[in-house]
Amino acid sequence: MSSVVHLANNYIYIASFTLFLIGFSILLLNSNLIKKIIGMNIMDTSVFLLFISQGYIKGRKAPILEGGGSVNPAEYVNPVPSALILTGIVVAVSVTAFLLALTVKLYNLYGTVDMDEIIEIRRSVDGNS
Amino acid sequence: MIEDNDIILKQAARVLTPFILIYGIYITFHGHLTPGGGFSGGTVIASSLILNRISSGNRGSGPEIDRMMGIASIALVCYGLIKAMGTFFPDFTHRVLPRGIPGDLLSGGAILPLNIAVGFVVACVMYIFFCLIGEEA
Amino acid sequence: MKRITVGLLLGAMLVVLLSTVSEMPQFGSPSNPTHNYVSSRYVGKSALETGAVNVVTGIILDYRAFDTFGEATVIFVAALAVVSVLARGGLSGD
């Protein structure tokens, strides 16, 4: 019983793990390259959620300082994870853009974005030559 | 790709574009006062540019991408130069870009110019992504 | 068949991941190991040292500005990669 209460208090971990597994299942089950990229983005989002949730402290304000002069650090949440995860978001955007560019190139070459069909086409070309 | 008789789409986009652009500039310039900064503001600016492009029809992408790439490179070099100046000549930088009173728009030393440089880089790069990935297929 | 295998695999992964929650720090508790002197130093001194009211911007553009320079370079290199893969006659080609 106590473990169930503990899980309910740490709902952010459950949400993060669920998002990760949703993205992973999309990555495994679909052969459409666009859907694979979407799944990878969902996995990225789950990792960002897990990382940023470590900076949260219950009942405190966002780290936008008020009232100048003396600042009491016990009033604000932890700003360090939010500052660090910006790098991760930028890298995720860059990787997504490059994967989409490669997918466009594959579509121009084979006329499809389905990985199974691309493998079939390549196999038939190899068999004929 | 847009026909000439899509007048509602064109006029609505023409009304909306400047407001989105102003909002993106606001987010970029208030990066040290409110949540936001160069990355989010640059993305909003890029969305207004993209809206303008897709509502006014498909024009060739070669020279525009050249120009955007040039702006992004110059902004990146400016970022490096401003930060190097702040690192190697801190006294001079504090005289040119004072820290000011926390909470004012013109405060925070080198943070405001750095935010603007990052905003330029992100806006141009997002626009290039859209032009190439969305229209080269 | 593939779906059943993947479902079993993901179920096993979910059980393993949820079993680690009891070892993780309590969500939202102020005594977590992540809330140490680093964050209180940043929050307490950042308005004086950087002049920025937003602490996150103060960290990414003043204390760690070269880190952000790397981020801008990463997204710029991504744009270069996309252009070199896709551009037909772009970038002064013809």
Put simply, the answer to whether C77 touches A65 (Cβ < 8 Å) is no
Confidence at residue B136, expressed as pLDDT on a 0 to 100 scale = 61
Compute the mean pLDDT over every residue in chain C, rounded to the nearest whole number: 86
Collect all residues with Cβ–Cβ distance below 8 Å to A90 and sequence separation of at least 6: B39, C71, C74, C75
ipTM: 0.86
Let me know: does C46 contact A75? Beta carbons within 8 Å. no
C75 in B contact zone (CB under 8 Å): yes
Put simply, the answer to whether A108 touches B137 (Cβ < 8 Å) is yes
Confidence at residue B3, expressed as pLDDT on a 0 to 100 scale = 57
Q: Which of the four pLDDT bands, split at 50, 70 and 90, describes residue C93?
A: very low
Residues of chain B with pLDDT under 70: 1-5, 58-61, 136-137
Q: Is the dihedral of CA C4, C10, C13, C19 positive or negative?
A: negative
- CA distances in angstroms from B7 to B4, B11, B14, listed in the order given: 7, 6, 10
Domain total for chain B? Answer: 1
pLDDT tens, position by position, C48-80? 888 888 889 989 988 888 899 999 999 999 999
Confidence at residue C30, expressed as pLDDT on a 0 to 100 scale = 86
Put simply, the answer to whether C27 touches A86 (Cβ < 8 Å) is no
- CA distances in angstroms from B129 to A37, B43, B126, listed in the order given: 16, 12, 5
The reply to whether B2 falls in a domain is: no
Residue C92, pLDDT > 60, answer no
In Å, how far from its chain's centre is CA C13? 24
The reply to whether B50 falls in a domain is: yes
The reply to whether B48 falls in a domain is: yes
Q: Which structure tokens are listed for B112?
A: 């405001």
* Contacts with A61 from chain C: Cβ below 8 Å: none
The percentage of chain C sitting over the pLDDT mark of 70, rounded to a whole number, equals: 93
Put simply, the answer to whether A64 touches B137 (Cβ < 8 Å) is no
- Quote the minimal CA–CA distance from A46 to chain C in Å: 13
Confidence at residue A89, expressed as pLDDT on a 0 to 100 scale = 93
Instruction: Give pTM, 2 decimals.
Output: 0.88
Residue B33 CA to residue B27 CA, distance in Å, equals 10
Residue B76 CA to residue B22 CA, distance in Å, equals 22
The reply to whether B1 falls in a domain is: no
Q: List, run by run, the mean pLDDT of 10-residue segments along chain A (129 residues).
A: 81 92 92 94 95 90 77 86 91 94 91 91 84
Assign B96 to helix, strand or coil: helix
Burial class from Cβ neighbours inside 10 Å (0-12, 13-18, 19+) for residue B127 reads: buried
Domain encompassing residue B67: 7-135
* Contacts with C54 from chain B: Cβ below 8 Å: 31-35, 37
Q: Which of C42, B86, C45, C35 is nearest to A83 (CA)?
A: C42
Q: Region of A67 please: left (phi>0), alpha (psi -120 to 50) or beta.
A: left
Domains in chain A (CATH in brackets) are 2-58+75-128 (1.10.287.3510)
Residue A87 CA to residue C70 CA, distance in Å, equals 9
